[in-house]
Structure formats: C-alpha cells, structure tokens
Amino acid sequence: MGAPDSTTLRFLVIGAGARGNAYAQAVTNATPGIIHAVAEPHTFKRQEFGRNYIWGAGTPNEGQEFADWRDWLRWETKRRKQDSTSTLTSTETALGVHGVFICTLDETHVEILQTLAPLHLHILCEKPLALSLSDCLTVYRALLDTTPATTDINSDTTTNNSESNNNKDKEIQPKTIFSIGHVLRYSPHNILLRRLLLQDRVIGDIVSLEHCEPIGWWHFAHSYVRGNWRHETGTGDGSLLTKSCHDLDFILWLLSSPLSPPLVPDPSKSTPESNPENDKPHLPHLITSTGTLTQFHRARKPSLAGAATNCLTCAAAQSCNYNAVAIYADRHLSQGLHEWPVNIVCPDIEDILRHNPEAARSHLLSRLSEDYDVSTTVAKDIAQRPWYGRCVYESDNTVCDDQIVTLTWSDEGGSKRAKTAVFHMIAPTEKQCERRGRVYGTLGEVEYDSRSIEIYTFGNGEKRRVDVPRQPVEEKSHGGGDYGLARSFVRAVDAVVNCGWGVERAQRVHVGCTLEEAVRSHAVVFAAEEARREEKVIRWKEWWEEKLFEALGTGSSCE
C-alpha cells in the first residue's frame, strides 16, 4: 500500500443490506481503507451498520449518515463547492470519500452510476451492473466520460492524469477505478484453479468445461419465488442474470480472458509486460440456452392446500418442504440463527432480540402472515415488495428454476483453440451455492467443488488432490471472494491515490478486469437469455456488433 504518510482511503456504502455489510466487513478487516459514510433508508439497518463499521459507540460526524444516497449527493456537492473556495486545511473541513460501494437493489444501479459518474469517484458496484443490455451500455458510456474532475475530494491528494495526457491517441479509458461484484474471480480457490489450468497447464489444452451452480431448494424459494428477484421482464433479467451472471463471468474468465496481468498480482512489483497475443480475449462463437420454470406454479400445488395462499393458514403446511414457518422460524430463528435469511424477512430482528427475545418469533410470524388477494390488489403493488409467507405455488414469480447455457468457441489458431462450456443453474439441490464442475483437457481432467480441486493425469493414471488455501472467517463470504474483491479494489484505489499510478495500470494489475470486460460478460448473459426465449442459436460476433451499433452507433467500442 501507500507510504507511511499516505492518505487514509475513505469509502461510502450505499445500501446497508447483506452485500453492503459483506463489503464493509471485508474493507474493515482486510484492508487499510475505512468505511466513512453510509446511505440507507431503513433506520435500524443504517444505524446498526454505522455502529459496526463507522462511529462505533459514539455518534456520526457530519457527512457520515444519510437516509438516501441523493441526500449524500446534495451534501457532497455543497461540500465540494465550499472546499474549492475555502482557506481552511483539509483537517478543518468536512471529509469526503475516495470511493463508493453501490449495494442497492439491481434496478437502482443505473441511476446511481450515471449520477455519480461526474464526481469521478472510484466505484465498486454489486452485480448485476444493470437489468438490460442497453442500460449496461448507458453506464459504460457514462463511466467513460473524459471530462476531468476539477476539484479533488479533500485537497489533501492530487489526481494523477499524466497517463491520459500522455496517451491521447489510445482508446478512451475510465478516469477512475471500477469494479463489479463478480466475486468468483477473487476467491483463493478459483484463483488457484485458474493458475493450474492456464499457467501450469496441468491438463494441457482445455477441451470442455462443465460448471454447475446448485442454488439450494429453500434458497431459491426465498430469493426467486418469494423475494426481490422473482420477476423476469423479458429483457434478460431473470435468475440467470440476478443469480448466475458471475458464473458465466467465471467461465469467460477461465476460457476467454487474456493471461496477463499475472493471476495473483504482486503489488511490490512493476506492471508485467503485455503480450499482444495474450491480451486479446478468445470470445465464444455460438451461444445457446434452454430453461424453464418447472416447480413453482399453481399446477404443482398440493391438492391438500386447497385455496390457501399463505403458509400460516394452509392445511398442507406440515407436509410442504417450502413451509415458510418451518424455513424461517424453525430451521433458523429457533436454532439461534437470526442473520440471513431471517434478517431479510425482518430487518429489525436483531434489535427485537436485543430488547425482547420472546417477541422475536411473534414478530417474524406477523411478517410471514402478510398476504394479498389477487382479485383486489393491484399487480404493481404486489410486485413492489417480497412476500415471504406466500405460497410458493401461488406466487407471481416468473424466473427459471432450471437452466442450461452452452458456449462454443471456434479454433482461431495459436493458443485460441476450439472448446465448449456448459453451465447448469439448478434450484432443487441439497448444496446451496457450492459450485462444482469438471474441466476436460488433452492431458487429463480436473474436478472441483467449492473447497477442493482434484487432478487426474491420463499418461500415468495419477490422481492428486490440491490443497486450497483456507481462511475460515473469509471463506464464509463467497469462498473468500468478497474479501478478495474488496482487497483488489482498495489496492487499485490506493495505487492511484497514494502511489501515483495511472488508472489503467491500477485497474489492470489489481482489479484484473476492465469495465469493458464487465460489460461484455453481462452481454453474454443477455445473449443466452435471448437464445432461450427465442429458441435460437446466437452467433456472438454478429450479435454483439449489431447490439453495439444499435446502442452506440458503432461496433468498435467495448469489443
């Protein structure tokens, strides 16, 4: 990180839900950066977040607590104006932030990103970037804004624009660090897997890959039948985007992304030399997909349930796997588990447990009893919120609970060989989000799950298990991916703010994924969804050029 007298990196978290807390914990525990401010509409969640990561047992300082991100924006705009004309030192004025974590609902990302872009803050946005390809490209254009920031956030640091000034003829690059919440790239397990496959080439050339995300039977019901991610709008924002976009990104990272920079960048070393051949991604040739909503619709409803629409009044509840009382109250709360998913149903459950533990179950059941009558309730009102006690067979969900995506690469010569990948997203599973897969190569095959990697070599018939580095605290968060992503983002920001690096270099060495690459991996998801809905084969290059032309008037950007 920076020198001993370097600036302490400060970050704003917008959205104090599960993802906001995950990144705040990682920044606080594993980086020299600090969480400086929070914007969150829910009072208890905001104040609990502040106590845990910002002001502790004290009270927030000016500029640290906001009920809405727009309130912070107004405050920050005013602060910058005052700071630009003030004669006070930076320690005497209200402090701003160097970067922002956007951890709000998916549909809010575009507005927040577009609005914050002119502030030239470093940004980490939770996945997905946006809910349509056109919105992804809108964000891409906004973050490529070349207008320089005229006022730094505190006047105690200076922005290094020498790289952009010295490279005016190069392709336009973002002026700030940008990261997307594709956490699978950053777990120790997956970093090791990629090194074994691409750098050590333990199975030679990759011929095919099978990758599965088992979502988990009750997890799918919680998030994608009763919860916020249960609707598909027809533009691709189904469960493939909201749940598994980082699985497709993971596949592209293994099979498409260039080898340089190093798989595990060493911040003490200079930027590695680029290999023009390796710097070009090997993109898929064909994309297909099939999928459906198999379980969670009225035709699958148990006959014993009759006309019941809520688990608390259903005669079939005791024999139903998806009984909300059994899932949230018996399986979790009664076992002393009051975090996710219980705190999603009742965000203030921890406060209630703290002051009146006996009331917690009654409060939870009260929330689960909330229901609606489809004949009298406006569809828009139903769609605007989750219904965690609603019968899974009477919900308004539309997303797939079983989907397969197939990617095919053509032979382009050199290291870019023909290969295939199959991704399977499946809901009714024992394992919950514990990915597993198998990679077939010319010299052997690799089998992996979320904790282990096993290599079989054809020539000698040897099978060996590779030890994966384990950090028990960190691995609870996407196998360490949350921590890895937070570290990479903070390192990149530190390199720019404190070490004088240009943004492009810091992005490449520390984040290892460009804005362009993040947009393109989202585009592959939208292509797969179009293939599924229209029952067709997508020819990637032609499809992508057409989409770029429609959105940007050119096919030369974001390729």
**What is the tens place of the pLDDT at every residue in 286-339?**
999 999 999 999 999 999 999 999 999 999 999 999 999 999 999 999 999 999
346 vs 352: CA distance, rounded Å? 10
Q: What is the pLDDT of residue 262?
A: 46
Residue 388 located in a structural domain: no
- Whether residue 541 is contained in a domain is answered as yes
Q: What is the mean pLDDT of residues 534-554?
A: 90
Give mean pLDDT, residues 466-482.
Answer: 78
540 lies in a domain? Answer: yes
- Estimate to the nearest angstrom the gap between the alpha carbon of 359 and the chain centroid: 35
Q: Is residue 34 part of a domain?
A: yes
* AA letter at 188: P
Shared-domain flag, residues 329 and 244: no
Per-residue pLDDT at 169 exceeds 90: no
| 234 and 131 within one domain | yes
Q: Name the pLDDT band for 550 (thresholds 50, 70, 90).
A: confident
pLDDT beyond 60 at 152? no
Q: Give the torsion through C-alpha atoms of 211, 215, 217, 221, to 10 deg.
A: -140
Q: Check residues 17 and 414 and name the one with the higher pLDDT.
A: 17
Question: Among all chains, which residue has been given the structure tokens 């032309």?
Answer: 549
For residue 5, count CB atoms less than 10 angstroms from its CB and return exposed for 0-12, middle for 13-18, buried for 19 or more: exposed
Same structural domain, 328 and 278: no
In this prediction, residue 273 carries a pLDDT of: 44
Same domain, 406 and 324: no
Domain end position, chosen among 336, 357, 383? 383
Per mean pLDDT, which of 71-85, 201-215, 344-358 is the most reliable? 201-215
- CA dist 523 to 70, 185, 418, Å? 29, 18, 21
Average pLDDT over residues 113-132: 96
User: Does residue 441 lie within any of the structural domains?
Assistant: no
End-to-end CA, the chain: 32
CA dist 313 and 239 (Å) reads 29
- In this predicted structure, the answer to whether residue 102 has a pLDDT above a threshold of 60 is yes
From 288-292, 390-394, 472-476, 548-552, the region with the lowest mean pLDDT: 472-476
Confidence band for 137, pLDDT divided at 50, 70 and 90: very high
- pLDDT tens per residue across span 440-458: 999 999 999 988 999 999 9
* Total domains present in the chain: 2
In this predicted structure, the answer to whether residue 244 has a pLDDT above a threshold of 80 is yes
pTM: 0.89
Whether 99 and 35 have beta carbons less than 8 Å apart is answered as no
Q: Are residues 147 and 239 in the same domain?
A: yes
Question: In terms of domains, do 134 and 274 share one?
Answer: yes
Q: What's the pLDDT at 155? A: 35
* Residue 463 maps to a domain: no
Mean pLDDT (the chain, rounded): 89
Q: Is residue 448, in this structure, part of any structural domain at all?
A: no
In this predicted structure, what is the pLDDT of residue 269?
47
Picking from 91-105, 106-120, 214-228, 270-284, which range would have the lowest pLDDT averaged per residue? Answer: 270-284
Domain span holding position 367: 298-383
Longest distance between any two alpha carbons in the chain, whole Å:
75
Please indicate, yes or no, whether residues 126 and 271 belong to a single structural domain of this protein: yes
| 71-99 tens-digit pLDDT | 999 999 999 998 877 665 554 457 899 99
The percent of residues above 70 in pLDDT, for the chain, comes to: 86
The amino acid present at 369, given as its one-letter code, is S
**If you average pLDDT over residues 191-213, what whole number do you get?**
96
For 390, which DSSP code?
Answer: B
Task: Say if residue 4's pLDDT is above 60.
Answer: no
Same domain, 379 and 246: no
Mean pLDDT of the region 106-118: 96
Is 229 within the bounds of a domain? Answer: yes
pLDDT at 274: 46
Helix (H) or strand (E) holding 210: strand 206-214
Question: Do 47 and 72 sit in the same domain of this protein?
Answer: yes
User: Is the predicted pLDDT of residue 168 greater than 50, yes or no?
Assistant: no
Instruction: State the CATH number of the domain containing residue 526.
Output: 3.40.50.720
The Cα-based distances of 323 to 277, 302, 316 in angstroms read: 55, 12, 9
Strand, helix or coil for residue 452: coil
Residue type at position 249? D
Mean of the pLDDT values across residues 107-121?
96
Q: Would you place residue 157 in the very low, low, confident or very high pLDDT band (cuts 50, 70, 90)?
A: very low
**Which residues neighbour 75 within 8 Å (Cβ) at sequence distance 6 or greater?**
63, 66
pLDDT at 182 over 70: yes
Residue 512 has pLDDT above 60, yes or no: yes
Higher pLDDT, 414 or 128: 128
Reported confidence tier of residue 260, pLDDT bands at 50, 70, 90 = low
**Tokens (6 digits) for 450:** 């979320």
Q: Clarify whether residues 364 and 282 are in a common domain.
A: no
One domain for residues 155 and 38: yes
Same domain, 272 and 344: no
Mean pLDDT of 116-129: 96
